[in-house]
Structure 1
């Protein structure tokens, strides 16, 4: 298994564990008597599960298992693959910080963080498509 695929998959599993813990905290909130302010973590929880876990697992397995691009570059551009990994995770972390901050204090000036996070996630998606598209071909 390529190193990049291992990083995608292991990082995805970390997001899965953290997402499950956040989900458990959100469900336990009423029983613990916590204020409803913890609901600001709901979008972070969903992003961690759907982008952090599911998307990273898909990208890691896709990078590893899709048909070879060529003999010289069997998986396309490794540099682009690493750029996708970095952009995806930077976008998720910025989102995890910026979303609750903007909800709790809209005047706090963290809006730029959500814009940069969205741009990082968009570029990661485009990068994955650009790197994988040539590997999807008829035999």
Structure 2
């Protein structure tokens, strides 16, 4: 299994654990007297699940298991793969911090952090598609 795939999958497991812990906190907010800002963590929970767990796992498995591009570069660009990993995780972590911060203090600049996080995640998706696209073909031609 390639190193990049291991990073994606291990990160996905960490995000799953973090999301489940956050889910417990959000559930407890309905029965315990927790601080009011806890309710603003709900979008972070969904991003941890969908981007952190699901998307990260998909990116890692696709990098590993899709058909090879060429014998010289079987998985496409390794650098673009790492750029995807870094951009996706930087965007997600920024989002997890900025989303509740912006909800608690709107107009304090956290809105721009949300924009930056969205751009980082979008760039990760574009880089992933560019790298994976050549691997979606009818059959290997020995190139």
TM-score normalised per structure 2 = 0.95
Q: In structure 1, what is the equivalent of residue 112 of structure 2?
A: 112
Q: Please give the alpha-carbon distance, in whole angstroms, between the structure 2 residues aligned to 1:69 and 1:107.
A: 47
- Give the Cα separation in 2 of the matches to 1:111 and 1:132: 32
Alignment deviations for residues 82-128 of structure 1 (CA, whole Å, 9 cap, x no partner): 00000000000110111111100012112221111000000000111
Match of 1:84 in 2: 84
Q: How far apart, in 2, do the equivalents of 1:37 and 1:93 lie?
A: 18
Shift of 1:31: 1.7
Distance 1:89 1:131 in 2: 17
Verify: 1:125 aligned to 2:125, yes or no: yes
Distance 1:80 1:107 in 2: 35
Q: How far apart in 1 are the matches of 2:48 and 2:123?
A: 18
**Helix, strand or coil: the match of 1:88?**
helix
- 1:1-139 matches, cutoff 5 A: 1-139=1-139
Shift of 1:35: 4.1
- CA distance in 2 between partners of 1:128 and 1:106 (Å): 32
Gaps spanning 5+ residues in structure 1: where?
none
Backbone CA RMSD of aligned residues: 0.8
TM-score of the aligned structures, taking structure 1 as reference length: 0.97
User: What secondary structure, in the 3-state scheme, does the structure 1 residue paired with 2:19 have?
Assistant: helix
Q: How far apart are the structure 2 equivalents of 1:113 and 1:128?
A: 22
Higher helix fraction (1 or 2) = 1
Count, aligned residues: 139
TM superposition shift of 1:36 = 3.8
What SS does the corresponding residue of 1:138 show, helix, strand or coil?
A: coil
